Amino acid sequence: MSARPPKMKDIARTLGVSPATVSRALSGTGLVAEPTLSRIREAAEALDYRPNVSARNLRRQSSMTVLMVVRDIGNPFYLEVMKGVEAAAREAGYAVLMGNAENDPDREAEYFAMLRDGNADGMVLMTGKLPSSRFRLDRLPVVVALESIEGAGFPHVVVDNRGAAREAVRQLVALGHRRIAHITGPLAEPMAILRRDGYRAAMAEAGLPVPAGYEQAGDYLLQGGREGCRALLALPDRPSAIFCANDEMAFGAIHELRRSGLDVPRDVSVVGFDDIYLSQAIYPPLTTVSQPRAEIGRMAMSVLLDIMAGGKPPDGPVMMPTTLMLRESTAPANHFEPLRG
């Protein structure tokens, strides 16, 4: 039979102090002075004392855990965000659990139920939508990161999706492209709408039309990029450039262009959005909008920590900067035929 783990009363008995004094010393309350504080810590180390985290959290009515809920855990986009969230959480003594929603409303509701029931203290939400919940969400400690959820009532940490998309399309216009198409994200979601609106704004300010079929609905997935590109190539006037609402769809578009015997960027330029690490590994390296994902994760967690501590949420969205990364998937247009129809 193994020996039982040491308890606070064992440390107290060894040093001739009260268990309450040991508890205050090991909890870092600042109420125990030297040299007693050092003696207690040394005795705890010598006895290999480990605090009962579950009991401590129960007293605090805290799980010391936060949830980071994403659309698809297989998307490498979230890895850098996770690093930022976890770094800020760890500094505050919290653990982070990643939840994989997989666009399943029932799974999304389960994560909110975990939060409601006290199995987590807060949530960084990155799914772009709220579950059609059977309970109230407005009082839960939630921060929405990178996505936009209109009317959610939660703090947001985001980028200027419309402005960044407009800048990306402006770059294609500056390269002489006139037939510029767009593969959108899911248009039921505000982020996809904002990026589409940025595309439209850049086309309008350049005096360029958006012909029928030049906006293809996508889903942020590789196959969605392939299918959208295939539809664009079937048009009478195929585009000379494609702006995709995320990098994964841009990869799918490049794959489809190659399958069709077209060269990127000689025949068709491609631009993405996100700058995931594969954007530099793919051939040709992808021109894309870079988001400071780790910094966004850290900021989202910082806002969440403030809310969980009873602080006032930000008055409006916390805006983070973007950078257009110019790489080899874009080049000057090699022909300027007028659009027909």
- Report how far residue 202's alpha carbon sits from residue 172's, in angstroms, rounded to the nearest whole number: 10
- Are residues 142 and 72 part of one domain? yes
- Report how far residue 191's alpha carbon sits from residue 13's, in angstroms, rounded to the nearest whole number: 61
User: Would residue 210 count as lying in a domain?
Assistant: yes
User: Would residue 335 count as lying in a domain?
Assistant: no
- Are residues 176 and 150 part of one domain? no
- Are residues 277 and 249 part of one domain? yes
User: Would residue 336 count as lying in a domain?
Assistant: no
Phi, psi of 163, deg, nearest 5: -65, -40
- The range of the structural domain enclosing residue 28 comes to 8-51
Sequence-separated (6 or more) residues with CB below 8 Å from residue 72: 100, 101, 102, 103
- Are residues 147 and 81 part of one domain? yes
Q: Is 160 within 8 Å of 319 (Cβ atoms)?
A: yes
215-231 pLDDT, tens per residue?
A: 999 999 999 999 999 99
Helix H, strand E, coil C: the string for the chain is CCCCCCCHHHHHHHHCCCHHHHHHHHCCCCCCCCCHHHHHHHHHHHCCCCCCHHHHHHHHCCCCEEEEEECCCCCCHHHHHHHHHHHHHHHCCCEEEEEECCCCHHHHHHHHHHHHCCCCCEEEEECCCCCCCCCCCCCCCEEEECCCCCCCCCCEEEECHHHHHHHHHHHHHHCCCCCEEEECCCCCCHHHHHHHHHHHHHHHHCCCCCCCCCEECCCCCHHHHHHHHHHHHCCCCCCCEEEECCHHHHHHHHHHHHHCCCCCCCCCEEEEEECCCHHHHCCCCCEEEECCHHHHHHHHHHHHHHHHCCCCCCCCCEEECCEEECCCCCCCCCCCCCCCC
Give the global pTM: 0.76
Phi, psi of 287, deg, nearest 5: -70, 130
Rounded alpha-carbon distances, angstroms, from residue 56 to 23, 27, 59: 11, 10, 5
- Report how far residue 165's alpha carbon sits from residue 283's, in angstroms, rounded to the nearest whole number: 22
7-23 pLDDT, tens per residue?
A: 888 898 999 998 778 87
One digit per residue, the tens of pLDDT, for the chain of length 341 reads 446 778 888 898 999 998 778 877 776 556 678 898 889 888 888 887 766 544 444 444 577 899 999 988 887 888 899 999 999 999 888 999 999 988 888 888 889 888 888 889 999 999 888 877 655 676 789 999 988 888 788 999 999 999 999 999 999 999 999 999 999 999 988 899 999 999 999 999 999 999 999 999 999 999 999 999 999 999 999 999 999 999 999 999 999 999 999 999 999 999 999 999 899 999 999 999 999 999 999 999 999 999 888 888 888 899 999 999 999 999 999 854 444 43
How many domains are contained in the chain?
Answer: 3
Q: Residue 202 sits in a domain of what CATH number?
A: 3.40.50.2300
User: Would residue 57 count as lying in a domain?
Assistant: no
- Are residues 181 and 274 part of one domain? yes
| Mean residue pLDDT across the chain | 88
